[in-house]
Amino acid sequence: MTGKVLVVDDDASVQRLLQQTLQHEGYEVQLASDGPDALRQWQQEPPALILLDTTVAGLDGYEVATRIRAEEGPGRHVPIIMLTTDRDVQGKVRALRAGADDYLIKPFHPAELSARMKSLIARFGSSNSLVGRPPMGRIHAYYGAKGGVGTTTIAINAAIALKELGRRVVLVDGNLQFGDHRVFLDLGLDRKSIVDLVSAPSMDADLVKSIVQPHDSGVELLLAPPSPEAADLVTPAHLHQILELLAGLYDYVIVDIDKRLEDRNLMVLDVAETIFAVMTADLSCLKNVRLLLETIGHLGYEQNKLKLVLNRSNAFTGISTKSAEGALRRPIEFQVVNEYRGAISALNTGSPFMLSKADSVLGRSVADFARAVDKGAAQGAGLLAPAASRS
């Protein structure tokens, strides 16, 4: 069994369908037809996850979720996926405010339900209690030497590749004014963001877990604010505290920041164990990398804190990798091949290529990059192999 799931729905046909689907996936299923019965079953024996219809009798789904969240003790959090026919944004917002971790609009595909359930159970189950081993807590900053070099694309797909290695990964959209993760991952403006975190009276690990958003890849997401003006609510002190909390929960905290060297970004660079500077082999980019290297020196960082990632390494620019290294007077540690059409197609569909085309040339290149990064981090943490290959 992969866990006990409480299905709360007053439609007998929906109950049967969900029961068959979940039992096929290996779950033990409990059924409740109204809100009071759902609360009783939760109180008697909390399940691994609750599928909660919004319109059940007695107490509707919103009330049930609100009461569960109010009665849960410290360190307890049962993941709730709200099931609704309401496509209106306000309905979704109401579900999330009531305490739901996710929502699905009926009818939905069983594969999507399964992916979201597995992501939430992984987050609020064994990974929550950190059973087996403590998280590695590596904070990695991804910084673009200039706009358009593919920093966000590499950060997103590297996060997915690290997750495929068995690591616990959270991806932070650090471009607080104009973050693209919602667009690139096909997520709506109603998803919780870093603003929900900094607006709370106090921050702790449990609050962080309730704010990060699940993705079908298994990577957790801390999204940028839904509007540019809300970015001003996030201070460098907020960001520092958030990254410390995330480092206590995940193996990798990947922070995708823009190229401005303002206070918040400098704070991220300070706390990051490694800075991955994404670049391309063209003159303007090489000029910016030279300036970045000088800045790193002025900030007092060790030179090995910065790693260069040459994106589109096989694209013809007239400047070879060897020439670029000569101009920079240092080696380029990582290279990711050029497959522009595949990368753009993935961006436009909101499906990262490490999910849709992991076996492509580009996917294999990013997977190689992630394995090299993980190998270095694992050796530094005293781990001999990725988590996926250890019992």
Distance CA 113, CA 127 (A): 20
Contact present, 163 and 118 (Cβ < 8 Å): no
Model pLDDT, residue 100: 92
Distance CA 79, CA 94 (A): 16
pLDDT at 89 over 80: no
Tens of pLDDT, residues 200-258: 998 999 999 999 998 988 899 999 999 999 999 999 999 999 999 999 999 999 999 99
Q: Angle between the 89-98 and 61-71 helix axes, to the nearest 10 degrees? A: 30
Average pLDDT of the segment spanning 79-98: 87
3 exposure class (CB count in 10 Å sphere: 0-12, 13-18, 19+) = middle
pLDDT at 39 over 90: yes
Tens of pLDDT, residues 197-216: 999 998 999 999 999 998 98
Residue 51 φ/ψ, nearest 5 degrees: -100, 115
Model pLDDT, residue 381: 53
Model pLDDT, residue 133: 55
Tokens of 302: 């060790």
In the chain, the percentage of residues whose pLDDT exceeds 90 is 60
By DSSP bridging, strand 274-279 and strand 28-32 are: unpaired
- Sequence-ordered list of residues with C-beta below 8 angstroms from that of 259, at least 6 positions apart, any chain: 143, 144, 145, 146, 147, 288
Model pLDDT, residue 26: 84
Lowest mean pLDDT among 71-80, 119-128, 316-325: 119-128
Cα 382 from chain centre: 25
Q: Sign (positive/negative) of CA torsion 281, 283, 285, 291?
A: positive
How confident is residue 124, by pLDDT bands cut at 50, 70 and 90?
A: confident
| Domains present along the chain, CATH in parentheses | 4-129 (3.40.50.2300), 138-389 (3.40.50.300)
Model pLDDT, residue 38: 96
Distance CA 340, CA 115 (A): 28
Q: Angle between the 236-247 and 263-271 helix axes, to the nearest 10 degrees? A: 30
Model pLDDT, residue 390: 33
Model pLDDT, residue 384: 40
The average confidence (pLDDT) of the chain is 88
